[in-house]
Amino acid sequence: MQGLLLLSTLNLNSPFALPLQFVDNISSREEVDQAEYYLYKFRHSPNCFYVRDWTIHSWIRKCLMYGAREKALHTLKNQVQYGMFPDNFTFNLLMDTFIKEDDYNSSLVVVNEIMLQEAFDEPCTQLLSLYVLHKYLQGKPDLKWEDERNLGAALLLVGLTQDNTVGFSSRLLGHVFLGRVELTKGIRAVYTKMPLMWTRGYLNRALNVMEEVVKATNGAKLCKDAVDAMAMVLEMPTSETSESKITNKLQETKQEDAIDDDDDDDDEINEKTKLPDYLKRFKELHAELQSLGKIETESLMTMTEKLITENLLAAESSEIQKFEKKLEEWEEERAALIQREKEIREKVRLEREARQAAKAKR
C-alpha cells in the first residue's frame, strides 16, 4: 500500500517527504529491494531536487541491517542515478562494516567513492581509508592500470591529510602508482574523470615528496616499501623486463584502449627520456634519507596500524559528537520539511475547493 502511494506521489509531482519516509520505514529485505526502485524513481522524478543526507544515511543503515550490503554498494557506485552522496559518518559506517568482515575489496569500493568525492575531511575517514588501502595492498593483488590509478589517487589524496610517516609514505606510493600509469598509458589516462592534476610529471612529484621528507623537521620518515616501489618503477625500463617488452605491451593496449592518442604517445616518450635523470635524483635523495635515518624499516601497514591505535579512539569520539549535533539538525530540517508539505497540501486543497465552488456557481 505504501509503495502504491509512493508511486502516485512521484507520478503526480506531489510534495516530497513521502518518498524519503519510505526509506525510514523499511522493515525487511523485501522492502529494501522495493526502496531501491523507489529511490531511483524519486531521483528521476520532476519534483526531486536531491536526496536528503538523513535519507542516504538511513538507506545505508537499512541495507546493512537487512543483509543487503550489495545494494548499498550498487547505489553508491551508481550514485548519480540514485542520488547517493553520503557524508563522512555514513562512509565510515559502511567501511567499518566491511573491515570487520575482512572484506577489503568492498571496503576499497567505498574508499574509491570517497576519493572521487574528495571527501577525506574527517580524521576518522582518513584513518579508516589508510587502513583499507594498505591492507588491500598487503594482499598483493593483481592490478590493472585502472586499479593502479584509483589506488594512486586515493593514496595521494588521503596522504595529503597526514603530516607524518604514514602520510608522506602514502603520498609517495600514490605518486608512484600514478607515475607508472602516466609512463605506460599517458597523462590523459591519469586525470580523466579523476580529481587529479592534468600536468605531466607524477614521478617527478614523487621525488619532490622524498625531498620534502629530507627537509622535514617533525620526525617524519619514508617507509622502505614505498621507497622500494619507487625504485622499481624508475628501474623498470632497464630491468630484465626490457624496454622492448614494455613497448610491445604499450602497442597492444593502444589498440584496445580508446583513451590513448598522439598526445599520450608524446607523454610516454617525454617521461621515458627523463627516467635517467629521475633515477639519478632518486639515488641522491635515497642516500640523504639513509644518512639522516629517515628510512623506516617497519612496513607501511605496520606504521598505519600504529597510527590508528594512537589516534582512532579520539577521532571516533569527536566524530560521534559531531554526528549527534547533525542528528539534531536533521530532525529540525525534517520537521520543517513535513510542515512545509502540510502547508502545500492545505494550499492545494483550498485552491481545489475554490475552483469547485466557482464551477458550482456557473
* Radius of gyration in angstroms for the set of CA atoms belonging to the chain, rounded to a whole number: 26
- Quickly tell me which residue has 588521503 as its cell: 158
On the 0-12 / 13-18 / 19+ scale of CB atoms within 10 A, 191 is middle
Query: Residue 223, SS3?
Result: strand
The domain tally of the chain equals 1
In a domain, residue 180? The reply is no
Q: In this structure, what DSSP letter does residue 198 have?
A: -
Predicted confidence at residue 272, as pLDDT, reads 84
Predicted confidence at residue 258, as pLDDT, reads 46
Predicted confidence at residue 342, as pLDDT, reads 86
d(CA 122, CA 261): 39
d(CA 282, CA 172): 12
Instruction: Please report which residue ranges of the chain form alpha helices under DSSP H.
Output: 2-11, 17-24, 29-43, 53-65, 69-77, 79-82, 88-100, 104-117, 123-138, 145-159, 165-185, 187-191, 202-215, 224-235, 243-256, 262-291, 300-361
Q: Could you tell me if 57 and 48 are in contact, meaning their C-beta atoms sit under 8 angstroms apart?
A: no
Q: Could you tell me if 224 and 295 are in contact, meaning their C-beta atoms sit under 8 angstroms apart?
A: yes
- Amino acid identity of residue 169, one-letter, is S
d(CA 59, CA 87): 13
Predicted confidence at residue 252, as pLDDT, reads 45
Helix (H), strand (E) at residue 83: none
d(CA 326, CA 90): 12
Q: What is the pTM (predicted TM-score) of this model?
A: 0.84
Measured on CA atoms in the order 326, 331, 332, 334, is the torsion positive or negative?
positive
Helix (H), strand (E) at residue 46: none
Predicted confidence at residue 207, as pLDDT, reads 97
C-alpha cell at position 287:
642516500
Q: Could you tell me if 192 and 113 are in contact, meaning their C-beta atoms sit under 8 angstroms apart?
A: no
Residue 183: name the closest of 275, 255, 245 by CA: 275
d(CA 259, CA 28): 44
In a domain, residue 45? The reply is yes
Residue 295: name the closest of 165, 131, 133 by CA: 165
Helix (H), strand (E) at residue 87: none
In a domain, residue 68? The reply is yes
Predicted confidence at residue 360, as pLDDT, reads 83
In a domain, residue 53? The reply is yes
In a domain, residue 221? The reply is no
Residue burial 81-117, b: 16+ Cβ < 10 Å; e: rest: ebbbbbbbbbbbbbbbbbbeeeebebbbbbbbbbbbb
In a domain, residue 44? The reply is yes
- Quickly tell me which residue has 502511494 as its cell: 5
C-alpha cell at position 217:
623537521
Predicted confidence at residue 43, as pLDDT, reads 84
C-alpha cell at position 256:
584496445
Predicted confidence at residue 334, as pLDDT, reads 84
Show pLDDT as tens, one digit a residue, over the chain (362 residues): 444 444 444 444 444 555 567 888 899 999 999 889 888 888 887 766 678 888 999 999 999 999 999 999 999 999 999 989 999 999 999 999 999 999 999 999 999 999 999 999 999 999 999 999 999 999 999 999 999 999 999 999 999 999 999 999 999 999 999 999 999 999 999 999 999 989 999 999 999 999 999 999 999 999 999 999 999 999 875 443 334 334 444 444 444 444 445 555 555 667 888 899 999 999 999 999 999 999 999 999 999 999 999 999 999 999 999 999 999 998 898 888 888 888 888 998 898 988 888 888 87
Structural domain containing residue 23:
16-86
Query: Residue 295, SS3?
Result: strand
d(CA 44, CA 136): 36
In a domain, residue 23? The reply is yes
In a domain, residue 54? The reply is yes
d(CA 157, CA 159): 5
Query: Residue 296, SS3?
Result: strand
- Amino acid identity of residue 217, one-letter, is T
